[in-house]
Structure 1
Amino acid sequence: MNMIDPEAERKEILRHYRRLLRHAKPFLKDNDAKIIKKAFNTSVEAHKDMRRKSGEPYILHPLAVAQIAVEEIGLGTTSIVAALLHDVVEDTDMEVEEVEREFGTSVARIIEGLTKISGVFDYGTSQQAENFRKMLLTLSDDVRVILIKLADRLHNMRTLDSMPRHKQLKIASETMYLYAPLAHRLGLYAIKSELEDLYLKYTDTDTYKDISTKIRQTRSARGKFIKDFISPIEEELRRHGFKFNIKGRPKSIYSILKKIKKQNITFEEIYDLFAIRITLDVPLEHEKAACWQVYSIITDFYQPNPDRLRDWVNTPKANGYESLHTTVMSKSGQWVEVQIRTKRMDEIAERGYAAHWKYKSDGSGGESGLEMWINKVRDMLENNTANALEFMDEFRKNLFVEEVFVFTPKGELLILPDRATALDFAFEIHSEIGLHCLGAKVNQKLVPLSFRLRNGDQVEILTSQKQKPNEEWLDYVVTSKARSRIKEYLREDRKNKSEQGKAMLERRLVYLKVPETQGNLNKLMAFFNVPTVQDLHYRIATGHIDIKNIKEVIFSAQAERGSSMLEPKSFDREVQKIRGVTSDMLVIGENTSNMNYKVAACCNPIPGDEVFGFETEEDGIEIHRTTCKKGIELMSNYGNRIIKAKWTDQKELAFLAGIRIKGTDRVGLVNDLTRIISNSLRVNMRSITIDSHDGIFEGNIMVFVNDTGHLDKLIQRMGKVTGVLTVERFD
């Protein structure tokens, strides 16, 4: 066991503290240093006997979170104090009221937002979703809660090595599901990229190592290429008197992998592995003109790709991002992405929302796209009655989207999520207009409610007091505002109709001289096969159940015997069924296992893949790969239903796997491939499809293999066949 040296630890803590003060110094006012010192001492005292999983003193975590808040997000004194104290209320006896007395209302409100909820949750709703919802509610008071939460999560991800494997998977999945999209939406691109890379590092370690090694190996060649590429541009920019900075940076590991999968190409085939960024130092009023002038200089030297020009200088993204992007052809025949921006734009791109505050007083006036988004989130929170998981789903849909810019008849600009429809536009203007929307005129042409809007469309909404929402409307809308208003209306409408149906049923039972007991209601529900009494009432009111079909015979003894099978199960039994499986390791494929499990079709795991089990409500346990997209959502939202799982060593089991293959076409190629599959490795093939075009073939082969080792051997042998260029597994 390692001996702890208290003196060395004290020095280490002070080193971190002094580094924090060094970064904070430029913006500290009168009393700030004293307040920070007081917060530091309070935190040291509160956590003095605590250690992290790694064994280091706990105080290093709040110090690291405060450091990220200052150095990487650009927050100020209040945030430093809140970051230093963020775990104090949760982990010690100190109360929020005490924090308020000592450090003021702002710090107390932020810490209250950061303190996790404890207590009982509905089974099936995730505690994480509830925590997240609470954290978002504080958005209406102070966005710094979210920014510090992101700093906290980033430090946890950086130090995830010391956590047990199942915790690593849960925390990494949750990060990918919630925090990376949130960092993206708040304009924190560097943090978003690092969170994505760290997610990959813990869920698909081999791929992560493989890509990072390749990036390292190509570093020196990349450096020389960048130097040659920028030298004529630098000369010309100096000649025009620009103050500037140019740097090249590789894309993140996660974005490279995304590209490889999306375009079905190899690492070597990615043409824009890195981007060149030109940052200009110019006054605010000359920014646009300067960016376009630099674009003109670059295109004098290099041919631009017209399809790859992105102008976020004239129309910034909703999270405030401003930049001019172009992709040009270098002299060596490689495409290169060039980003042109000013120092102000760069700070907003790197620091997102925090930088917006700094430039608030720049006289530009009006609301930024990011503030409009935050106001939308507030609106969404205030009007949302869904449970936590439904809410999370809605929230994510509105996080990860691009925008579409459309105009009202008077020429006002509205920014809606990509894929938004005329009905979304109607609700964006006003809920009442949305609820009575009949159709729309887009660019003077009549269109239906479901019409999908495009950039630059001018939209006029047509309404009628007789128009009312129906279930189908939920298929037409993408904005959270529209969805929650429609759901609210349908819930209210259903409630009213259920009341009418209840009155109709009461009258009918009086007429039949049948008492309205729970037993009799159960018989009716069984007879008409409806799950709840409310549903029964609703169907009577809407005419789905004809009131005249409710007759005495349903309540007779004969019917009673028939219906006992259909009586609803008791809630307790249902909960037992869901909770009945212990969280011990599930060994997949052993004959002794009496658990009902199936392999998930979304990711087709095979022995050798790292997997986990998920308890479903109907189909027993579902086995997913830890890298599965659906798996991320399950691990993030239903941590209590995740089961550790591993494969048995038995070899007689066969699993379906997909292989994608690409190469140059020749006679006899298919024959060579099928011979390797069935003869040399005794693999059964389920299907093979090969498509040939202009001398190049692409094919998908579905095979039954024992495990990943078996599959890798097969892939290696197929790769040696003459004419084959790439062979890879696909989900």
Structure 2
Amino acid sequence: MTIEDLLEEAHQYLADADLERIRHAYELAKHAHKGVVRKSGEPYIQHPLEVALLLAGMRIDAEGIMTALLHDVVEDTNYSLDDLTEQFGQQVANIVDGVTKFDALAGKPNKAAQSLDNAPGQEPAEPVQQTLSVVDKRREKTETVRKMLLAMAEDPRVVVLKLADRIHNMRTLAAMSTVQQQNKTRETSEIYAPLARRLGMMQVQAELEDLVLSYQDPERYAWLKREVEEEVQRRMPFIDEVGRVLREEMQRAGIQAEVQAWQKHLASINRKLGYVSGQPSGADLSQLHDLVSFRILVYTDNECYLALGHIHALWRPKDGRIKDFIATPKLNGYQSLHTTVFCFDNRLAEIQIRTHDMQRTAEYGIANYWYLKDRMVKEDSSPHSWKLSYKEMVAWIEQLRQWQSELPQSADEFVEAVKGDIFQEQIFVFTPKGEVKDLPRGSTPLDMAYRIHTDIGDHCAGARIITNTDDSGRLVTRLVPLDYELKGGEIVDIMVNRTVHPTRDWLSFARTAAARNKIRRYLKTYEREINLQLGKERLDLALKTAGAVGLNALVEELLNQARNEDKTGDLRKYANRDDLYIAIGREDLQVEDVMLHLLPLVRQVNELTHGEGANPHTSKESEGSAVVKLAQCCCPLPGDEIVGMLNPSKGMYVHRSDCTRVRRHRESAKAVIELNWLQIEPETYLSPITIVAHDRSGLLRDVAAVVADAGVNMTTVTSTTNPSVHKAVITATLEVMATEGVLDQIERILRRLRQVKNVVSVERAFNAH
């Protein structure tokens, strides 16, 4: 092709002044690439010309076409961005700069390498392969993908141009080496084809997917192409008859319409047949009723609905197969009416109805925006399709910018996040107010909650799914848990509970990277305090069991020793006692391992304090026979019926009247004394509880989090599991301050614990002994 071919195509929609700028860009690019040829033998300028022609076919603006001609100039020649800015303006230079960031993905050589390795008239040499580790290579590639995605957030024409560039590369892939072919097809399959789909550029997606299939599985591709051609020929009588009837019906209805029959692209048919990893599913082409579908193109939205009515008057529609993407467009801008009807001999036919503008948007997606914008400005009108295209383009770009600010700076995490959240298949769900939210397939209420607002996500307790209406016409809802997989078209009402907060389990069923990142951010902020308390309580309990008191002092001394001695091993890495407690709470460090180092220290302290052979249990706790204490065997609380048991050496212990220990001593009248709560003024109360739950990872942590949020300590906590039935029993003792409403405090904690995921029951343990 020549520059004249490009100008002839562009002349159909651009002004003469724009054509002159395009010619100027061509002359500069031709001069810059003078003498360089591609492996196919054609002049290098041919590639930019082909890419520019593809964009002209999409009706992109003059700046886009100029950039297509210049997109390799800065990367491959001695021209700089400043040179392009001076001659063509800042906008063109910015797009070229964005495209250059894309090009590193393919491993293109830089200008210095070219000048050393290439003689005039030769194609640029292969890039010099430096010795890099696998990790370094992956980091280099993913960082490039990160830059490319952020570049297209600055100007979407960057990605439109690169998609056209990739089409031409794939069309000429036969001239490349086998390794290059493998790399190009993999990148196209993982990045470029899904990106084209996400941007609504269905024609680009179809061609890229077919080219990928032809290189990844050439035998399958050749077989499929042959079989599809034969099947379409067998169906031609049916196709011609349906098309004839549709044309006659549109004419009879006074609708100016174009009726087309179109065939699905081969990669799509391959997926329909369920062909995975080289193994066919056994499905038959003859079973695909939509191998060839019908499309009716009209000029107004009203004509779309009028045509649909006439089609349904002709043939009976199939239940559940009528879709209105005009009233509710897809988030990539796609609009159309879809229906499937029973035609001749009850054979199914799929029919799409849309305007010509909708058809252009369906084929070229975001690339159609500039054409519609220019046309509508000239015609001084603003059709719905242009407004929609602009709105969705802006929303998509803003989403990319939001990810840039929210996601970690790791290139791997960013790329995986974008591949999962943008490139994968999307579903569309609605809020009760009718707002549309797009989410990757497999998303949960948690993903939707975080998509709405971070605070809503942090306190998401589930969702109500509004499914349909009952006979009375009222909406019918059903409650679903956080891990419920949302279905396209559902109305989702997020339930918020301020006592709910993120736990590590949430990471296992949050589908989107944005939700997972926000959960991690919450855990990093708040989980520290939970682990600190849990670790401290575990170690304190172990010390008390060993007959020692003074937890903080002992741990401080242990860490001081660790800094000066090697025998304490890994303990040296903990800067302070809080870090040690947190490690125990996270179970990065086992209590038993710490106790191995603490027990010798306990013995040293006891010898210094009490002398050799002293009893460490002796303390102020046992001084005076008049001391009144709450018994820890039954842990009575205000409101319980109580009695006292006198221990001559330790004082009076208060028990629940139904405590098993009390029943054993009832025979001795002197041993058991009737008491009431007015006689007792303890500072704290202990309340044992028993939690029965379905076992899962993080259960104990979630229980500790609820107790910590209530401002209550756990003096003991143990957990037993039965793997055969996945059942867990957690016993814990709560230490509640002697303030007003002790029972209310405990009941409030019990209610919150019952809301923890997988918990079956939570009760006070009245008879611990």
Q: TM-score, normalised by structure 2?
A: 0.62
Is 2:539 the partner of 1:516?
no
1:650 aligned residue: none
Is 2:464 the partner of 1:431?
no
Flag the structure with more relative contact order, 1 or 2, with Cα contacts below 8 A and sequence separation at least 6. 1
1:327 aligned residue: 340
1:226 maps to which of 239, 260, 268: 239
Is 2:480 the partner of 1:462?
no
Structure 1 CA distance for aligned equivalents of residues 61 and 462 of structure 2: 49
- Give the root-mean-square deviation of aligned CA atoms: 3.6
1:483 maps to which of 516, 532, 537: 516
1:128 aligned residue: 141
2:96 maps to which of 91, 94, 111: 111
Deviation per residue, 1:43-74 (Å, 9 max, x gap)? 11221132222222111111111111111x32
Structure 2 CA distance for aligned equivalents of residues 77 and 35 of structure 1: 8
Are the aligned partners of 1:407 and 1:457 in contact in 2 as well (CA < 8 Å)?
yes
1:68 maps to which of 23, 44, 54: 54
2:647 aligned residue: none
Write out aligned runs for 1:229-308 (5 A).
Answer: 229-261=242-274, 264-282=282-300, 287=301, 289-308=302-321
3-state SS in 2 of match to 1:123: helix
Structure 2 CA distance for aligned equivalents of residues 227 and 146 of structure 1: 39
Name which of structure 1's ranges 269-278 and 212-221 shifts more when overlaid on structure 2: 212-221
Write out aligned runs for 1:357-506 (5 A).
Answer: 357-359=370-372, 362-364=382-384, 368-385=391-408, 387-398=410-421, 399-408=423-432, 410=433, 412-443=435-466, 447-454=480-487, 455-464=489-498, 466-492=499-525
Per-residue deviation at 1:487? 2.7
1:29 aligned residue: 15
Name which of structure 1's ranges 187-196 and 322-331 shifts more when overlaid on structure 2: 322-331
CA spacing shift, 1:517–1:45, aligned 2, 3 Å: farther
Are the aligned partners of 2:426 and 2:438 in contact in 1 as well (CA < 8 Å)?
no
Deviation per residue, 1:483-524 (Å, 9 max, x gap)? 22223333455788999999x999847536435389778655
CA spacing shift, 1:521–1:145, aligned 2, 3 Å: farther
2:658 aligned residue: none
CA spacing shift, 1:436–1:307, aligned 2, 3 Å: closer
Per-residue deviation at 1:438? 3.7
Are the aligned partners of 2:246 and 2:259 in contact in 1 as well (CA < 8 Å)?
no
Per-residue deviation at 1:99? 1.8
CA spacing shift, 1:357–1:44, aligned 2, 3 Å: closer
Are the aligned partners of 1:125 and 1:388 in contact in 2 as well (CA < 8 Å)?
no
Structure 1 CA distance for aligned equivalents of residues 28 and 339 of structure 2: 51
**Which amino acid letter does the alignment assign opposite residue 448 of structure 2?**
F
CA spacing shift, 1:203–1:547, aligned 2, 3 Å: same
Structure 1 CA distance for aligned equivalents of residues 274 and 317 of structure 2: 26
Structure 1 CA distance for aligned equivalents of residues 198 and 435 of structure 2: 24
Name which of structure 1's ranges 417-426 and 51-60 shifts more when overlaid on structure 2: 417-426
2:212 aligned residue: 199
Structure 2 CA distance for aligned equivalents of residues 295 and 191 of structure 1: 28
CA spacing shift, 1:419–1:553, aligned 2, 3 Å: closer
Is 2:44 the partner of 1:58?
yes
Structure 2 CA distance for aligned equivalents of residues 199 and 158 of structure 1: 10
CA spacing shift, 1:402–1:248, aligned 2, 3 Å: same
3-state SS in 1 of match to 2:40: coil
**Which amino acid letter does the alignment assign opposite residue 44 of structure 1?**
K
CA spacing shift, 1:140–1:498, aligned 2, 3 Å: farther
Deviation per residue, 1:626-658 (Å, 9 max, x gap)? xxxxxxxxxxxxxxxxxxxxxxxxxxxxxxxxx
2:584 aligned residue: 540
Structure 2 CA distance for aligned equivalents of residues 525 and 276 of structure 1: 73
Is 2:144 the partner of 1:144?
no
Are the aligned partners of 2:59 and 2:371 in contact in 1 as well (CA < 8 Å)?
no
Deviation per residue, 1:138-167 (Å, 9 max, x gap)? 233211111101011111111100111122
Structure 2 CA distance for aligned equivalents of residues 192 and 537 of structure 1: 54
**Which amino acid letter does the alignment assign opposite residue 293 of structure 2?**
A
Are the aligned partners of 1:69 and 1:148 in contact in 2 as well (CA < 8 Å)?
yes
Write out aligned runs for 1:599-610 (5 A).
Answer: none
Structure 1 CA distance for aligned equivalents of residues 327 and 56 of structure 2: 30
CA spacing shift, 1:344–1:543, aligned 2, 3 Å: same
3-state SS in 2 of match to 1:249: strand
Per-residue deviation at 1:445? 5.6
Deviation per residue, 1:373-417 (Å, 9 max, x gap)? 332232122211152233222222222223232224x55444444
Per-residue deviation at 1:426? 2.1
- For structure 2, which runs of at least 5 residues remain unmatched after alignment? 108-129, 276-280, 377-381, 467-476, 537-550, 601-769
**Which amino acid letter does the alignment assign opposite residue 79 of structure 2?**
M
**Which amino acid letter does the alignment assign opposite residue 450 of structure 1?**
D
3-state SS in 1 of match to 2:451: helix
Are the aligned partners of 2:200 and 2:365 in contact in 1 as well (CA < 8 Å)?
yes
Are the aligned partners of 2:210 and 2:267 in contact in 1 as well (CA < 8 Å)?
yes
Deviation per residue, 1:105-146 (Å, 9 max, x gap)? 111111111113489995263533322221111233211111
1:44 aligned residue: 30
How many residue pairs are counted as aligned between the two chains? 528
Pair member with larger Rg = 2
3-state SS in 2 of match to 1:307: coil
Is 2:227 the partner of 1:214?
yes
Per-residue deviation at 1:344? 1.4
**Which amino acid letter does the alignment assign opposite residue 70 of structure 2?**
L
Q: Once the two structures are aligned, what percentage of the paired residues are identical?
A: 33
Are the aligned partners of 1:317 and 1:403 in contact in 2 as well (CA < 8 Å)?
no
Are the aligned partners of 1:328 and 1:335 in contact in 2 as well (CA < 8 Å)?
yes
Per-residue deviation at 1:359? 4.0
CA spacing shift, 1:292–1:385, aligned 2, 3 Å: same
CA spacing shift, 1:413–1:197, aligned 2, 3 Å: closer
CA spacing shift, 1:389–1:315, aligned 2, 3 Å: same
Are the aligned partners of 2:200 and 2:362 in contact in 1 as well (CA < 8 Å)?
yes
Structure 1 CA distance for aligned equivalents of residues 566 and 157 of structure 2: 55
Deviation per residue, 1:457-502 (Å, 9 max, x gap)? 25143131x5432221122322333222223333455788999999
3-state SS in 2 of match to 1:241: coil
CA spacing shift, 1:495–1:266, aligned 2, 3 Å: same
1:82 aligned residue: 67
Is 2:330 the partner of 1:317?
yes
3-state SS in 2 of match to 1:44: helix
3-state SS in 2 of match to 1:471: coil
3-state SS in 2 of match to 1:549: helix
Are the aligned partners of 1:419 and 1:478 in contact in 2 as well (CA < 8 Å)?
yes
Is 2:593 the partner of 1:549?
yes
Structure 1 CA distance for aligned equivalents of residues 572 and 76 of structure 2: 50
Is 2:197 the partner of 1:184?
yes
Structure 2 CA distance for aligned equivalents of residues 305 and 517 of structure 1: 80
CA spacing shift, 1:543–1:186, aligned 2, 3 Å: closer
Per-residue deviation at 1:303? 3.5
Structure 2 CA distance for aligned equivalents of residues 159 and 505 of structure 1: 72
**Which amino acid letter does the alignment assign opposite residue 488 of structure 1?**
R
Are the aligned partners of 1:318 and 1:370 in contact in 2 as well (CA < 8 Å)?
no
